[in-house]
Amino acid sequence: MQETSAAEGRPMGLAQGPLIRGASIAALVAAVVIPLVGCDSGPESFFGKPGDTACPRPQIATGVASQFNTQQTEIRVLRRRAFTGDFFSQLELGRRYQGLRVTDKNLEDTVEAAVWYAVALSNADGYSPISAYGRRSPQGDQKTIARYDDCRAVERRAAYRTLNDLLSQMSSEEQEKVRSRVIYVLSTQGAPGYRTLARMHDTFFGPFGEPSDNGQAAEARGKPYKPGAPQVLNLFPRNDVDAYLYNYLAVQTGDVGAYVMLKDFERSSAQRASAGQYVEAKAKRWIPPYEFYPPESPSSGVPHSDESDQIGDAQQVALSRIRELPFVHIGEALAYLRVLARPCASEDSLYPQEIQAFQAMIARPQTGVFAPIEKVRIIQYAAVNGSPKAQLVLAVMYAEGVGVPRDYARAFHWFAEADRQGSAEAKYAMSTYFSLGVAGVADQDKAKAVVYQIDSALSGFKPSVGRLQQVLAQVSRTPRPQPRDRDYGQ
């Protein structure tokens, strides 16, 4: 029977990831046939047991003389590649943040290292066979294995062991942070990322969504007489609800392949099919664990940068509308973040140094001119740091599709956050959600809507005062008698 790729639901052949999509056929053949120059191998190898061979790392051209600037530039290049699915950049980030080399000690961050090892292990470019060129396996069977496939297997085997060691030294809170960041990174990839998350929670696949008979997955599961990687296995617990949820989220992106996989998932057992209604309701309320990747930084001073903002046509359309957002809201957010001493109403009144200060906060190139995505990040950063005004603005942005793709679940989330801080406008918005019921995000609840309207009116938000008067007038109006059968002569 022909083997199929778990990542795409099609016969395995050439991998479809960014590494190979960006290369010509000639380069692919060369990568497989010619010796792997620059490999780490031998007894001192970081990548596995003696004699194993690791894949060569792609070169990063920086052109910067300063050692700190070179390191900073390399990390940003690696993160940009890693967010878009480059397997080797993900592995290299894990290694850099692990601080194995003396020059990387200032980057050491075990949580971040674990994140990128986990993302790399979930990457189909790391395990999908890519070529028929190669040699026979040492066991002497007829299966043809590319030498390139061999070195990737070595990389994944080492990544499994390393990740297990890192997780075993973490608290439950740190492990939760790893899990949330992996979910965020994969969710930024759209349908492919959601499908990967679905497989990672599905008992029919390996721990990171690879085929269940994958060699590294089997080693991680272990045997009664040979323990595997228990910490790795516990990172993403297997359950049908989450597997169904992520399959459903993939379908919501409009991906046809995801729809086929969801139907296959439903048909695999009656119990799974019965969970459909519950999962659908849960999916409509689902939002990623983070608004954007937390810009924390280790002792190196190089903050983690979010490189997810360059993906998707919907986001490009939304970004083109950011000019519709009055700049006064951006100015207030900058003041809340203490980038400005006081709010400003015009971008022209900003100094380049003030713009560069915020760009440095989120690890963006310090150009002194705001890009559209950076204006969105200002509102998001102020919102996640507790500004009720920014939370309200961000909610409206999601509701209207300004700067960010329209997302009613996220809009509801940020209205709720602002409401918890006493925003009268947010209370009014919440009343609208419950009055109308919005796409399954908030069930229609007239009583709860009136409560929000009263709270909003008492907080002094004028639009709700008039709306409340209308509601109260309807409630106090004497009900008309209902017609009876005899009124119609029957």
Tokens of 136: 């026979």
Contact 436, 444 (CB under 8 A): yes
Q: What is the pLDDT of residues 363-407, one digit of tens each?
A: 888 899 999 999 999 999 999 999 988 998 888 888 778 899 988
- Does the pLDDT of residue 34 top 60, yes or no? no
Q: What is the pLDDT of residues 399-446, one digit of tens each?
A: 778 899 988 788 888 888 888 887 777 766 665 654 444 444 444 444
Q: What is the pLDDT of residues 201-222, one digit of tens each?
A: 999 999 999 999 999 999 999 9
| Helix extents (H) in 144-239 | 147-168, 172-187, 191-200, 215-221, 230-235
Considering 40-54, 151-165, 238-252, the range whose residues carry the highest mean pLDDT is: 151-165
* Dist. CA 244–CA 199, nearest whole Å: 9
The DSSP bridge partners found for residue 274 are none
* Dist. CA 119–CA 137, nearest whole Å: 28
- Does the pLDDT of residue 12 top 50, yes or no? no
* Dist. CA 163–CA 138, nearest whole Å: 28
* Dist. CA 237–CA 310, nearest whole Å: 31
Tell me what pLDDT residue 436 has.
45
Residue-averaged pLDDT of the chain:
75
Q: Which of 38-42, 103-107, 336-340, 458-462 has the lowest mean pLDDT?
A: 38-42
Q: If you average pLDDT over residues 149-161, what whole number do you get?
A: 92
- Does the pLDDT of residue 155 top 50, yes or no? yes
pTM: 0.75
Contact 198, 135 (CB under 8 A): no
* Closest to 115 (Cα-Cα) out of 135, 90, 149: 90
In the chain the first and final C-alpha atoms are separated, in Å, by 72
Length of the chain measured in residues: 490
Structural domains of the chain sorted by starting position, each given as residue range(s) with its CATH number in brackets? 4-284 (no CATH), 313-476 (1.25.40.10)
Tokens of 352: 């380049």
**Helix (H/G/I), strand (E/B), else coil: 384:** helix
Tell me what pLDDT residue 6 has.
38
Q: If you average pLDDT over residues 153-176, what whole number do you get?
A: 96
